[in-house]
Structure 1
């Protein structure tokens, strides 16, 4: 009886310790360089455990869930483009921070493949004495210059996490708010709660491990000629990257050649729109 009670107590303690803390940030973006009046807002999650953290779009999880349900109920035949468009996100990337190694890994899709690189630029903060209160938290001001933008952050030591949204970390507390000096990007903590574990994320296509500079080159190739870039992915062109995983699943099934020109045209329009809406990226260099 005592042994069973001890095991049950250990299980409960393990379950509590294994929980992940989820912080929900409202992300505000002016990502279209030609239209700064177009302000986009969506939620993103920062999930933190003792070992790591992940930052990604709320719509990413919703989209993955919808796609999984579609594939389980009939695959491409049940693909609802309108529903997927409603879950489109301007936060296409995922950022992982490993607590032990202090490494930050950035992942983002270019075309059909997922590209992954290890961040090689430290976030060097200048801590200031100014304090205030945001919501329930007493916060302190800090500043940094990172990837072409000047950032102001407000962090709190009321929470036991030295982390923050996007690539921000290294302060003696959790970043509650961060914004650039142009007012084009901001992250605001809205709420937090516990979840059982990190969510499983669908990984379609190959994962290409590259250096950050090589990722930037591939991204520029895609921006200049997305159709040619997609064609090079079909032929296995990787630009010196390390390819991991299976090829991407076919984009469609059936239909013969009669719809191929129309499908190609729609794909080109979607890619051009994607490039336009991300013409003022969060990282300027």
Structure 2
């Protein structure tokens, strides 16, 4: 391992970082004092039949003394912009909302994880970008969600870290993870964790979803989640959230019209285009 990476890891505890939910985590505005940041590239193929539909998003795993947060950097930038508006009232947010027909933002989540295995997921407006956000939904995963890892003796080296193989079935997929005990953090991308080291690579068996470690660094950041005006935070059943997301997608045109929107093209042609987009959006991370 090169010297720079060793220096980055000097402040890591020899024991696994303890992450847990305090009762405050369920307040309407969650605050985190972040001391470490891990970046992953997330590559995914939204049409399972078309490799050309692959795209890559940069994501971050933020670690505090009590909880970890996983989200895309795009989500982080959106929230930072909105927070600046709330604090200073200097950003004009009244521009018309531009909607791409059939496009559903199902990467709009914020995932909080504890060392007991509890997972809490915030998701805004059921992942739809049809209108301004009116409510933030959240649901929880059972504490046993990450208890069925099967460890292997297989090892590889990733970015000069020695990694061990582990496998798990989750969200309708079979996943293979490579984790390193050289980074003693029991966490990883998305909802994954509870291994004896940080997950550096994670891929499903269809090879259409993949997370790859990019960097780890010490930081000193204060983050406040869900700092938004006139927004209700509402608990929802996970299955209902996924069902609602599909409902919004399939009924996008009528929902737009009922909210006073207009369609700039022939209604029938717009519906056909919507149906085609939905047909190709068939490979969500949880099936």
TM-score (normalised: structure 1): 0.69
Instruction: Give the secondary-structure state (helix, strand or coil) at the position aligned to 2:93.
Output: helix
* Distance change >3 Å, CA 19–CA 166, structure 1 → 2: closer
Q: Paired residue for 2:6?
A: none
Task: Compute the displacement of 1:192 (Å).
Answer: 1.0
- Whether the aligned pair in 2 keeps the contact of 1:22 and 1:48 (CA below 8 Å) is yes
Aligned residues: 234
Contact preservation (8 Å) 2:161, 2:182: yes
Q: Which residue of 2 aligns with 1:219?
A: 245
- Distance in 2 (CA, whole Å) between partners of 1:277 and 1:200 is 35
Rounded Cα–Cα distance in structure 2 between residues aligned with 1:55 and 1:129: 28
- Which residue of structure 1 lines up, in the alignment, with residue 109 of structure 2? 93
Q: Secondary structure at the match of 1:64?
A: helix
Structure 2 match to 1:8: none
1:1-285 mapped onto 2 (5 Å cutoff): 20-33=35-48, 35-68=50-83, 72-73=89-90, 75-76=92-93, 79=95, 91-99=107-115, 101-109=116-124, 110=126, 111=128, 112=133, 113-120=135-142, 122-123=145-146, 124-204=148-228, 205-226=231-252, 260-261=261-262, 278-284=281-287
Q: Distance in 2 between the 1:157 and 1:166 partners?
A: 19
- What per-residue deviation string (whole Å, max 9, x for no partner) do you get for residues 140-198 of structure 1? 00111111111110000011211110111111111010001111010011001122134
Structure 1 distance, partners of 2:223, 2:44, is 25
Deviates more, 1:167-176 or 1:112-121: 112-121
Instruction: Give yes or no for contact 2:256–2:262 (8 Å, CA) kept in 1.
Output: no
Contact 2:44 2:210 in 1 (8 A): yes
Structure 1 range deviating more: 110-119 or 155-164: 110-119
CA distance in 1, matches of 2:168, 2:255: 35
More off after superposition, 150-159 vs 25-34: 25-34
- Alpha-carbon distance between aligned partners in 2 of 1:89 and 1:27, rounded to the nearest angstrom: 15
Q: Please list every run of 5 or more consecutive structure 1 residues that lacks an aligned counterpart in the other structure.
A: 1-17, 83-87, 235-256
Larger helix proportion, structure 1 or 2?
1
Pair 27,74 (structure 1): closer, same or farther in 2 beyond 3 Å: closer
Relative to structure 1, the CA distance from residue 203 to residue 231 in structure 2 (aligned partners, 3 Å threshold; closer, same or farther) is: farther
Provide the rounded CA distance (Å) in 2 between the counterparts of 1:263 and 1:126. 53
Paired with 1:220 and 1:143, the residues of 2 have a C-alpha distance of: 29
Q: Structure 1 residues 80, 59: CA separation in 2 closer, same or farther (over 3 Å shift)? A: farther
Q: SS of 1:199's equivalent? A: strand
Q: Is the 8 A contact 1:57 1:89 kept in 2?
A: no
Equivalents in 1 of 2:93, 2:199: separation in Å? 41
Distance 2:139 2:253 in 1: 24
The verdict on how the C-alpha distance between 1:275 and 1:62 changes in structure 2, with shifts beyond 3 A counting, is: farther
Partner Cα separation in structure 2 for residue 90 and residue 211 of structure 1: 16
> Which ranges of structure 2 fall in alignment gaps of 5 or more residues?
1-32, 99-103
